[in-house]
Amino acid sequence: MFLVRFGRSCNFFIVLSCCALLSGCANHIPPAPVSAATPQYRYLIGPLDTLNIIVWRNPELSITVPVRPDGRISTPLVEDLMALGRSPSELARDIEKALSKFIRDPVVTVLVTGFQGPYSEQIRIIGEAVRPQAIAYRQNMTLLDVMIQVGGLTDFADGNSALLVRGAEQGRQYRIRLHDLIKRGDISANVDVKPGDVIIIPQSWF
């Protein structure tokens, strides 16, 4: 049985069991809605992102730093500042506030140059993808974009029995038709994805 954890919370969602697939329970799961885009999405900083921090007129304080696994960063004069879950502009204001103790009227710009995003907003693809992985969500991302990034389906995948588990809807499940989309070019099988989605691709038994 597959268990999927969303973000750092203690809540676990039971996504799928092999027995459910074999018994045809997936037929009672609704298809994924075609349109589910997140138009107001703003990128939030996650662990292992790379940040270019520019302090105007203070080049000695400007630096490129990675976000540590604990979600914090350290820069000249500022140690252990929480970056996880902040937008670049929000983090820039936090740095300005911290630097104001040392310099007058600091002006800071934060640029993200390596994207991972918070765990809670990553798209996770497990099962019979060529390269199962977690990937950063991008504005207007679709199922086709995700499958291109993971290299498509393996020869053993039952793509039309795949499930999409929507973290933004407390783990609600939807059917998706990956075989039709990738192998048959049926663009009607393409649907929007949302931050925190999990895509589960089972193995074919035939």
Cα separation of 23 and 27, whole Å?
9
Question: Has residue 206 been placed in a domain?
Answer: no
Residues 63 and 101 in one domain: yes
- The total domain count for the chain is 2
User: What pLDDT, on the 0 to 100 scale, is given for residue 38?
Assistant: 75
Percent of the chain whose pLDDT exceeds 70 = 86
Closest Cα to residue 15, out of 152, 156, 166, 160?
Answer: 166
CA end-to-end span of the chain: 20
Residues 26 and 58 in one domain: no
Domain end call among 85, 114, 143: 114
Residues 105 and 90 in one domain: yes
Domain end call among 114, 129, 155: 114
More reliable by pLDDT, 184 or 8: 184
Write down the mean pLDDT value for the chain.
88
Domain end call among 114, 141, 166: 114
> Does residue 176 carry a pLDDT above 70?
yes
Residues 99 and 124 in one domain: no
Residues 127 and 37 in one domain: yes
